[in-house]
Chain A
Amino acid sequence: MLFYQESDRVQAIEPILTMKYDLGDGQILSGGVVVDSISGATPFGAVPSSSPQTFLRPISTVTNGLSTGSSTTQTMTSASGNSTVITVPAPPGSPVATTVVSSTTVGANKFPLDQGFSDTPVAGNLGFTQPITDRLKLALGATYSDEHDFRAISGNVLLMQDFNSHNTTLSAGVNYESDRSSPIGGVPTPLTVMNAEIKGAARSRDEVNALFGVTQVMNRRWLTALNYSFGKSTGYETDPYKIISVVDSITGVPINQLYENRPGSRQTNSIYWENKVHLTADVVDIRVRYFWDDWNVRSITLEGKYRVQFDGWYLEPQARWYKQDGANFFHFFLTATDPTPEFASADTRLANFDATTVGLKLGLKLDRLSELNLRVGYYWQQGNNHPAGAVGQLQQQDLFPDLQAVSVIVGYSFAF
């Protein structure tokens, strides 16, 4: 069970149940179910302003009766407390188009967050491992994930061949994933001005990943693994909910907001190296990852865990450091005097930032076959709060507020 809370933003509760069944002769069947409950606030992508800003999102359209040609506006309080029903004017005699719109007003000098966000993704996975020979294994896997505005299906095949008296394992695999994005209010036309009208149909995205790895028992106490992975995705890579502000080039005051646009394909690469070293009783785990892609994202991740083994229980301090160079189409904002670029996103996940995680895990061996563990983690992301190119009022604004999150994982495993 995962409990996750960001300061002033998203919170999530995520129970996970997994089972692994040994069928004998090396055959292993596994499966799992995840039910997520996410709610809270998520950034629009817009910059703060010295005066209040209102953001409108379409939710749905209802047609009912025939129009008289007049329009009405009625305010409703939704679960999130900020929705308004707007009756869109229609020619007399034609059906009335009633659009339900979510309206969020952000105060002066406040970072724009969409407060009404909530989701309940459900996901499942299945895996099967089949030995082909004493040294060769085949693993098959499939996942399915569904939430009200996003669906993903994936399948993978992995071959693992042992050499050198099972001291060396070479593995190669491929994963295919198909995503479908059907956002509330429809998919907007990229780089058009944000408005309350219902948008276009759902879009999809396909991704293929290949993984090549070598695992080596270096000696009795040291295990090392090196992976290279390559990914290629095509289709709808854009976040339909994210916008980017267009500001006055002198005053920095937002003039309007455009829907973001990302390239229609992405190629990713990563090199991952993990080491586990068994000391007298304790275990050290050191991981390094270098990631790069054709959006010019570069990142390095260093992660370390030190398991201090006691009699029947263990304590494991964990630390992770992540540094990212952002995508070449990331901009905090655009200015009105300059031409609109082909691709632009103000999603800070594509910006330059550092992130640090520290955690502590406690594990209790309840008996020979069961374990109870608890892990508390703290994540802190820091970007460029005051970029040098900020104009006018933006110089006084925090354009990349620090993100802090606390996660608590409680796990129980048993064999029967």
Chain B
Amino acid sequence: MKSNSRRWWPSVTKRRCDWGLAVRVLGATLSLLTVLATTGCATTHPKLNLGAKPWQHDLMAQTAMQLEAYPIEAGMDDHIYLSKEASSGGRGFAGGGCGCN
């Protein structure tokens, strides 16, 4: 019997991600941050240029420099995006209890 070569789904043209663009943006971000790092202040590991002396943690102590500076706002964003998109997590644990209409 001749096999049916027709697909069972409609031949929907899938718009694939422009991963080239994504990689370029990622590369540009990395380069920018490397420049920022190498032009930074004195460090505890001069060869690696990483870290700050204990008395240089003043800026890191500011609210704006905390990774979880505004947890409620971050949580609301997670909730909105979880209900509209197929990806979740990254910053913290994925999921989070949502029937999500």
Report which A residues bind B (CB closer than 8 A).
2, 4, 10, 14, 16, 18, 32, 38, 42, 117, 119, 121, 123, 143-145, 147, 149-154, 156, 164-168, 173, 175, 177, 179, 181, 207, 209, 211, 215-225, 227, 229, 231, 233, 241, 268, 270-272, 274-278, 283, 286-289, 291, 293, 295, 297-302, 307, 309, 314, 322-327, 331-335, 338-341, 349-350, 352, 355, 361, 373, 375, 379, 381, 384, 387-391, 403, 405, 407, 409, 411
Check A335 against B89 for contact (C-beta < 8 Å): no
Task: Give the shortest distance, in Å, between B29 (CB) and chain A (any CB).
Answer: 6
Q: What are some 5 contacts across the A-B interface (CB < 8 A)?
A: A121-B99, A220-B59, A271-B90, A283-B62, A338-B6
- Given the known interface contacts A167-B44, A338-B6, the answer about A352 and B15 at a Cβ–Cβ threshold of 8 Å is yes
Contacts of B93 in A (CB 8 A): 154, 156, 173, 175, 209, 211, 229
B86 at the interface (CB under 8 A from A): yes
Please indicate the chain A residues that have their CB under 8 angstroms from the CB of B98 in the complex: 121, 145, 150, 152
Q: Are A338 and B9 in contact (CB under 8 A)?
A: yes
- Please tell me if the beta carbons of B86 and A38 are within 8 angstroms of each other in the complex: no
A165 near B54 with CB under 8 A, answer yes
Cβ–Cβ contact A268 & B62, under 8 A: no
Task: Give Cα A409 to B79, complex, Å.
Answer: 13
Bound: A335/B59 CA distance, A = 60
Residues of B within 8 A of A166 (CB): 54, 57
Q: Could you say which of B18, B40, B79 contacts A221, with CB atoms under 8 Å apart? A: B40
A200 to chain B, nearest CB (A): 17
Number of interface residues, chain B, beta carbon within 8 A? 68
A309–B57 alpha-carbon span in the complex (Å):
19
Partner of A341, one of B8, B22, B37, B40: B8
Max count, chain A CB within 10 A of own CB: residue among B9, B11, B18, B44: B9
Chain B residue at minimal CB-CB distance from A384: B15
State whether A349 and B62 are in contact (beta carbons under 8 Å apart), knowing that A209-B94, A219-B51, A341-B8 are contacts in the complex: no
Among A272, A275, A300, A403, the residue within 8 A (CB) of B22 is A300
Among B51-91, those with CB < 8 Å from A are 51-54, 56-60, 62, 64-65, 67, 70-73, 75-76, 79-81, 84-91
Known: A16-B76, A268-B89. Is A220-B65 also a contact (CB below 8 A)? no
Question: Considering the complex of A and B, which 5 residue pairs feature the smallest CB-CB distances, nearest first?
Answer: A152-B97, A219-B40, A145-B97, A272-B90, A150-B99
B9 touches A331 (CB 8 A): yes
**Chain A residue at minimum C-beta to C-beta distance from B32:** A286
The residues of B that contact A384 with a CB separation of less than 8 Å are: 12-13, 15
- How many whole Å from A119's CB to the nearest CB in chain B? 7
Tell whether, in the assembled complex, residue B76 and residue A219 are in contact, meaning their CB atoms are under 8 Å apart. no
Which residues of chain B are near A181, meaning CB under 8 Å? 99
